[in-house]
Amino acid sequence: MPFVLTIDQKGSRRGPDRVPGALSALSGAPTVLRFERTAGDELQGVLDDPVAVVGVVLDLVRAGGWSIGVGAGPVQTPLPASTRAGAGAAFICARAAVEAAKRRPSRVAVRSPATTAAADAQAVLTALAVLVDRRSAQAWEAIVLVTAGRTQAEAAAELGVTRQAVGQRLAAGLWDVERDLRPTAVRLLALAGG
């Protein structure tokens, strides 16, 4: 089941256009229809893997400055060559989700014909978004290294700190909580997608 992400830049009238940078950052995401600018300061893409959806959402939250709407549900097939030409429930839900996200403190919303599953997925994605958004730069340094496969001792050597300091950064950044919540968010998105 496809997932449509509609992403809108916050405060675009007061700052520079960040869409080109976001499109570049998202170019490696495994999409069914690639991310592209749909209108003004908005971009949209279609994915079919809830793992990738969670990753994209959290990357955008970390980057900051975006309202992120996730729509789940059927789309009209065959899919067009351009995201802008897409139609179906997932696209409609993504539009409703991004509008809802603009009114939420976390700036993340999920909409689907499966409303209960969408609400559950939104709740977990919101918790993840808040967690990611509140991390310190030091916590991110440790998390990026350990997530890339380094041991805590190797990360400590690379950062020039003790192994215990790396452990403290991981704990302060709630890395273990994120690792526990990501699979839950994936399962709930899959349910919302039908």
Between 11-25, 66-80, 90-104, 163-177, the lowest mean confidence (pLDDT) is in: 11-25
Output the pTM of the full model. Answer: 0.91
% of the chain with per-residue pLDDT over 70: 98
- Label residue 125 by pLDDT band (50, 70, 90): very high
- Label residue 12 by pLDDT band (50, 70, 90): low
- Label residue 10 by pLDDT band (50, 70, 90): confident
| pLDDT beyond 80 at 15 | no
| Average per-residue pLDDT for the chain | 93
Domain spans, the chain: 3-130+182-193, 137-172
- pLDDT tens track for 36-74: 999 888 999 999 999 999 999 999 999 999 999 999 999
Tell me the CATH class for 3-130+182-193.
Answer: alpha beta
Sheet holding 108-111, edge to edge: 33-39, 42-47, 3-9, 66-72, 108-111
Distance of CA 55 to the CA centre of its chain: 5
Vertex 41 angle, CA 37 and 45, to 5°: 35
- Label residue 110 by pLDDT band (50, 70, 90): very high
| pLDDT beyond 70 at 157 | yes
Backbone angles phi, psi at 8, to 5 degrees: -120, 135
The confidence score (pLDDT) of residue 11 equals 72
Which amino acid appears at position 61 of this protein? Answer: V
Give yes or no for a contact between 84 and 44, defined as CB atoms under 8 angstroms apart. Answer: yes
Structure tokens at 167: 């452990």
- Label residue 16 by pLDDT band (50, 70, 90): confident
Return the bridge partners of 71, or none: 4, 111
What is the arithmetic mean of pLDDT over 2-30? 88
